[in-house]
């Protein structure tokens, strides 16, 4: 997720305290390293390292930083492990420029190779340094700074916001593509940041640049220009009235709701990173040659692994075994060998049960790979390779965007196993022609939330009195039902059991009474089967709620139908979790609970 902040003033002053305070106000975004740079009288003073703001600031005496321009950055690793050399900001080859970014430059590896071939000094693996060299390339070719930025913008693929300054200049420059950026205007200074919290204590007068715009900042004014043609843009100033707490949550009441709404954006960023990640092909090659495939996780990550197993069977014709990590030690580890491949899934990369299972599998020779959101975590270092989930920091304890990006990653891998290019435009498909399936998914996620939230609020109010309910699915929607049930348990404290819909008649049917809420998640190909399940419980008095694409047969049989946008069976399953996340959230709030921090639970489980 990262966080950047740039500051320019009309006189030399102590920048350290300003940069430290700005960095501290961005820590909620999550980070593994921090750095700061001061530009003063033709020099650049750069200090950075892995660690917390207060620790790094004390170790490197950030308070000593002085000048008229300063940049600070909190880094959440995606390209390059957390280290001092990969920490931001970064210098150009000669140390004449310094810059920092927020986001992901997905052609980072290719650009680094080009810059090295062109004779530039490339010090790190980090894509923030790539942004600096992208500008340096065109400065070296004789272009003016604005034009160099415009050309660099065309070279940098992905979603990012970037701030850069030159030693012998009186300005800072910033530009954005996909990631957040806001400019602040104060008395005797201007500033730029990836987010409002670092700005609000300084000024509430802001400008919000749009994608494809370059901002030039002086101490007393700013200019906004178009990347396309370099022409000036009249971007209006506005006054921010929200509280600090509100802007940290993006105007949402809780971080969980904010993170539910962020899922489309992080899915979009993830697909860009996967498209540019050479390790994807390495992993797919290993899986194609494997005797058996195992997808190993706990809790939400296990549910994502289970969805992935269905995707692999349906799309690639390959069986994969979803495994609960602790049970995998007893049930599978003794039987695996070097011929088998395991993908170990963990949001934090520190889940002790998953690490124990990985250790047991490695002891028997299994090739072990990972999916994790925290680059530099134990899982990313222990596995042969580990694909990043690119979700940024997830503050709310219940996983939302990390789950959906795990599912998107498995879907992407299943397409690759099938022999298809996931980035190729759809042609003659039921989805939108001219876009790839992974370009369409974020749009469908946004549309789903917009369509279902008002209805979800009403249903939540109706069923909130119940402390027992069931969530049922079939095929790819079965693990979605498990995940929905887990979310309800986590934050409403009601008992919701997730089950295979066809198993309900084998015992749990006896629990049904008048009004008993039963939620079905139905794939477009499973409607006849689900209709049987609906009527099986409805005739016994149950309140039947179905999450599915539009189908008149469902309306004719169920009490409530929460309609998803039309897609295909795999995407429909992924979309089906969004109403369940929202239902859990709204029921939790109605009960007076804090959905971000449910009792007894921790974000990272590092104990056996």
Q: Looking at the annotation, which residues are catalytic?
A: 2, 603
Burial of 221 (0-12, 13-18, 19+ CB in 10 A): exposed
State how far the Cα of 482 lies from the Cα of 472, in Å rounded to an integer.
Answer: 8
State how far the Cα of 407 lies from the Cα of 219, in Å rounded to an integer.
Answer: 46
Instruction: Kindly state the tokens that stand for 223.
Output: 């200019």
What DSSP string runs through 337-375? -TT-EEEEEESSS--HHHHHHHHHHHHTT-EEEEEESST
Q: Are 580 and 480 in contact (CB under 8 A)?
A: yes
Place of tokens 């899986």: 287
- What are the residue ranges of helices labelled H in 60-164? 108-117, 127-140, 145-155
Buried b (16+ CB within 10 A) or exposed e, 173-212: bbbbbebbbbbbbbeebbbbbbbbbbbbebbbbbbbbeee
Partners of residue 589 on adjacent β-strands: none
Torsion sign (Cα): 279, 281, 282, 286: positive
Burial of 289 (0-12, 13-18, 19+ CB in 10 A): exposed
DSSP state of 545: E
Is the link from the previous residue into 536 a cis peptide, with omega within 30 of 0?
no
Torsion sign (Cα): 69, 192, 1, 110: negative
Q: Are strands 172-177 and 205-207 parallel, antiparallel or unpaired?
A: unpaired
State how far the Cα of 162 lies from the Cα of 5, in Å rounded to an integer.
Answer: 10
State how far the Cα of 189 lies from the Cα of 389, in Å rounded to an integer.
Answer: 37
| 83 contact partners, CB below 8 Å, separation of at least 6 | 33, 50, 124
Q: Are 216 and 171 in contact (CB under 8 A)?
A: yes
State how far the Cα of 412 lies from the Cα of 507, in Å rounded to an integer.
Answer: 37
Q: Are 148 and 135 in contact (CB under 8 A)?
A: yes
Partners of residue 238 on adjacent β-strands: 206
State how far the Cα of 396 lies from the Cα of 393, in Å rounded to an integer.
Answer: 9
159, 143, 182: which is closest to 101 by C-alpha?
159
State how far the Cα of 540 lies from the Cα of 528, in Å rounded to an integer.
Answer: 19
């Amino acid at each position: 997720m990262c966080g950047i902040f740039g500051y320019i003033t009309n006189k030399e002053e102590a920048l350290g305290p300003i940069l430290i305070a700005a960095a501290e106000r961005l820590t909620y975004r999550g980070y593994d390293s921090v750095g700061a740079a001061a530009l003063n009288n033709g020099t650049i003073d750069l200090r950075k390292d892995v660690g917390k703001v207060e620790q790094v600031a004390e170790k490197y005496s950030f308070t000593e930083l002085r000048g008229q321009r300063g940049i600070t950055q909190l880094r959440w690793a995606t390209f390059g492990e957390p280290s001092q050399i990969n920490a931001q900001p970064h210098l150009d080859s000669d140390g004449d420029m310094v810059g920092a970014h927020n986001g992901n430059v997905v052609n980072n590896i290719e650009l680094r190779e080009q810059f090295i071939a062109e004779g530039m000094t490339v010090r790190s693996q980090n894509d923030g340094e790539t942004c600096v060299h992208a500008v340096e390339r065109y400065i070296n070719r004789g272009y003016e700074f604005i034009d160099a930025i415009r050309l660099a913008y065309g070279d940098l693929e992905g979603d990012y916001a970037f701030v850069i300054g030159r030693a012998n200049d009186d300005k800072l420059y910033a530009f954005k593509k996909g990631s957040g950026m806001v400019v602040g205007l104060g008395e005797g200074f201007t500033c730029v940041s990836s987010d409002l919290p670092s700005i609000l204590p300084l000024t509430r007068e802001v400008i919000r640049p749009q994608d494809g715009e370059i901002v030039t900042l002086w101490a007393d004014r700013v200019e906004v220009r178009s990347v396309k043609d370099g022409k000036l843009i009249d971007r209006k100033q506005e006054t921010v009235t929200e509280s600090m707490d509100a802007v940290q949550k993006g105007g949402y009441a809780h971080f969980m709701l904010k993170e539910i709404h962020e899922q489309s954006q992080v899915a979009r960023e993830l697909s860009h990173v996967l498209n540019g990640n050479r390790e994807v092909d390495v992993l797919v090659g290993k899986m194609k040659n494997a005797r058996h495939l195992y997808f190993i996780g706990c809790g939400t990550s296990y549910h994502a692994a289970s969805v992935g197993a269905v995707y692999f069977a349906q799309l690639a014709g390959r069986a994969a075994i979803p495994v609960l990590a602790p049970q995998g030690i007893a049930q599978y580890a003794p039987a695996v060998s070097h011929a088998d491949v395991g993908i170990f899934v963990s949001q934090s990369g520190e889940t002790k049960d998953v690490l124990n299972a990985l250790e047991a599998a490695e002891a028997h020779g299994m090739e072990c790979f990972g999916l994790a959101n925290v680059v530099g975590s134990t899982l990313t270092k222990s596995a042969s390779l580990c694909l990043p989930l690119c979700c940024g920091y997830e503050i709310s304890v219940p996983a939302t965007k990390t789950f959906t990006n795990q599912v998107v990653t498995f879907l992407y891998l299943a397409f690759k196993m099938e022999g298809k290019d996931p980035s190729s435009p759809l042609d003659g498909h039921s989805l939108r022609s001219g876009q790839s399936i992974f370009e369409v998914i974020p749009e469908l996620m946004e549309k789903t939330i917009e369509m279902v939230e008002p209805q979800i609020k009403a249903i939540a109010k109706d069923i909130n009195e119940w402390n027992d309910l069931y969530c049922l699915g079939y095929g790819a929607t079965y693990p979605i039902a498990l995940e929905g049930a887990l979310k309800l348990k986590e934050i409403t404290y009601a008992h919701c059991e997730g089950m295979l819909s066809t198993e309900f008649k084998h015992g749990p049917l006896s629990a049904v009474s008048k009004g008993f809420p039963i939620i079905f998640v139905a794939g477009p190909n499973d409607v006849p089967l689900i209709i049987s399940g609906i009527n099986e419980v409805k005739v016994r008095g149950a309140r039947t709620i179905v999450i599915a694409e539009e189908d008149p047969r469902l309306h004719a049989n169920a009490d409530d139908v929460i309609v998803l946008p039309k897609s295909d069976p795999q995407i429909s399953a992924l979309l089906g979790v969004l109403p369940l996340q929202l239902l859990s959230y709204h029921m939790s709030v109605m009960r007076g609970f804090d959905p971000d921090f449910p009792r007894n639970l921790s974000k990272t489980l590092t104990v056996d």
